[in-house]
Amino acid sequence: MSNVCVYLVGSGPGDPGLMTVRGAELLAAADILIYDYLAGETFAGRVKPSAELVYVGKKGFSAHVTQPEINALLVQKAHELESRGGGSIVRLKGGDPFVFGRGGEEALALAAEGIPFEVVPGVTSGIAAPAYAGIPVTHRGVASSVTFVTGHEDPTKNVSALDWDALAKLSQVGGTICFYMGMRNLELIARQLKDRGVSPDTPVALVRWGTTNAQQTLVACLDDVAQRAREASFGAPAIILVGPVAGLRDQMRWFEDRPLFGRTIVVTRSRSQASTFSTQLSGLGANVVEFPTIEFAEPDDFGPLDAAIAHIERYDWVVFTSVNGVDAFFGRLAAFARGDVPCDASAVPAATARCLRGDARALADARVAAIGPATAARLRDYGIIADAIPGQYRGEAVFDAIATESKRCGIDLSAAHVLIARAQVARDTLPDLLRAAGAQVDVAPAYQTVQPVAEKANDLVAMLEAGDVDAITFTSSSTARNLMAMLDGSEDVLRRTQLFSIGPITTKTLVDAGFEVTAEAEEYTIPGLVETLVAAFGRR
């Protein structure tokens, strides 16, 4: 079986960024993904659309797929792939596959069947969870060893696979003992060590859901850790770290100190636009809840845009007023190049030359304006560097920027052809100003925004009612209007949280609807809004 390979890949301890580069590459290329724990959901989104996903974790509420069943499944799937001509299987495992992950058993099952496999190590939770809690597992002058131990087995049973005397000895010279799967036996573990002379004052750190935004850490000592864990309802999954290094957390903690740690922030942007914003927020520690209030759809009529594309060479200026307008324009241009757009043959000769490939060369002779840095950045993705980017997000400012640049490069605005590719419904300030200056302006709707079906609104309402939301962010007037519409009568629940607005127009929409806005971004951009949230929530 040379055309099939099973990769046993460690996904890391929880933070999706902690998977190795090799693991991520294999995941993206996998034909079949087999995963078994919830964090796997994050990774399931990273496979190619045609990949088959097999979840082997909890079935319903109780029974797990057993290890022999998983071993057999790996073998079966490998044979299936072979009969389809080959491919790759990624078997994703939390942390490192060979550290208390039963990856060894899976490798043995594959080896026994002669199925090729490779192992991609992962960042193990026993090291990563302490690191995110600000605890180095070894530290010069403090701990010269770290021992990884299963805490799963009952320490009081007669024949233990663990040498508790040896563990106690290591601990007595400062060595770090790191228990996996030990929360249920916490009290017994502490007693085993104390009974063998380990000081009851020895620091112990418990790190739960390490490296995720739900991470919790409790530092106690051997004597009181079990009681304190009980009081705090501190349960699995957690690493139990015994040793003086746990005392270093006070000076080295960082993860929970990020400005938005533990804050739940709702992002109301469209799904396609949310990701950069969400990534920035979660990078600062926030739990991000995406509740898209906007979806993008085709405009009611592509006619004006198609006509513009067919004569693209005539424009002196092409203006983009949103990231989405850029995507929609180039999407339509590509469709045009593929011949998917019905168009009047008499219109085409020059256009076919310009639009043959549906790429940036279609705009080779035009000047290009972008309303702001995000739109300009998206244009760069298509290979275009904007000629005019105003300092402010207003029609007047765009006009000024176009006028200035026109003068600089000798375009007579009063004789210029301008194309504005934008949303179906938008303000007319810019076209009016350009027309007043004598330009011939074509406004071409490239997309329209629509309100999604409000199926998930109940979940959001429940979270708001429970006081579980620290902030809702509004990145445009439509996000505000649509959210209120989607709440359909329960809008008052918005008073249970803090509302953050990207700028004055959005703020006005909220205030006009009778809501109080906690803060408005100083710079009307996503980074500006992030800054505002950080200022509001600050450090804990």
Angle at 258 between CA 12 and CA 25, to 5 degrees: 30
Report which of 213, 148, 259 is spatially closest to residue 16, judged by C-alpha positions: 213
What b/e readout covers 275-292, taking b as 16+ CB neighbours within 10 angstroms?
A: eebbebbbebbbbbbebb
- Angle, helix 477-487 to helix 457-465, in steps of 10 degrees: 90
For 438, the enclosing helix (H) or strand (E) is none
Q: Using CB atoms, what's the residue nearest to ligand SAH?
A: 95
Has 157 been annotated as catalytic? no
Report which of 164, 170, 139, 131 is spatially closest to residue 150, judged by C-alpha positions: 164
| Min dist. Cβ of residue 91 to ligand SAH (A) | 12
Cβ–Cβ under 8 Å, residues 229 and 206: yes
Helix (H, G, I), strand (E, B) or coil at 179: strand
| Min dist. Cβ of residue 210 to ligand SAH (A) | 3
Cβ–Cβ under 8 Å, residues 300 and 282: no
Q: Which is nearer to ligand SAH, 125 or 507 (CB)?
A: 125
Phi, psi (degrees; rounded to nearest 5) at 451: -90, 130
Of the residues 59, 165, 169, 181, which is catalytic? 181
Q: Judging by beta carbons within 10 Å of its beta carbon (0-12, 13-18, 19+), is residue 201 exposed, middle or buried?
A: exposed
Q: Which is nearer to ligand SAH, 14 or 445 (CB)?
A: 14
| Min dist. Cβ of residue 50 to ligand SAH (A) | 29
Alpha-carbon distance 84 to 279, whole Å? 38
Q: Which is nearer to ligand SAH, 152 or 380 (CB)?
A: 152
Of the residues 1, 36, 169, 224, which is catalytic? 36
How far is residue 160 CA from its own chain's centroid? 43
Alpha-carbon distance 454 to 513, whole Å? 20
Alpha-carbon distance 391 to 169, whole Å? 66
Report which of 12, 240, 222, 226 is spatially closest to residue 148, judged by C-alpha positions: 240
How far is residue 437 CA from its own chain's centroid? 45
Has 181 been annotated as catalytic? yes
Q: Which is nearer to ligand SAH, 14 or 292 (CB)?
A: 14
Tokens, residue 265 = 């922030």
| Min dist. Cβ of residue 308 to ligand SAH (A) | 53
Cβ–Cβ under 8 Å, residues 306 and 341: yes
| Min dist. Cβ of residue 148 to ligand SAH (A) | 9
| Min dist. Cβ of residue 227 to ligand SAH (A) | 20
Cβ–Cβ under 8 Å, residues 207 and 96: no
In the complex, the residues that contact ligand SAH under the rule CB under 6 A are: 13-14, 94-96, 99-101, 124-125, 129, 180-181, 207-211, 236-239
Cβ–Cβ under 8 Å, residues 275 and 223: no
| Min dist. Cβ of residue 180 to ligand SAH (A) | 4
Has 58 been annotated as catalytic? yes
| Min dist. Cβ of residue 209 to ligand SAH (A) | 5
Of the residues 48, 58, 59, 407, which is catalytic? 58
Q: Annotated active-site positions, please?
A: 36, 58, 181
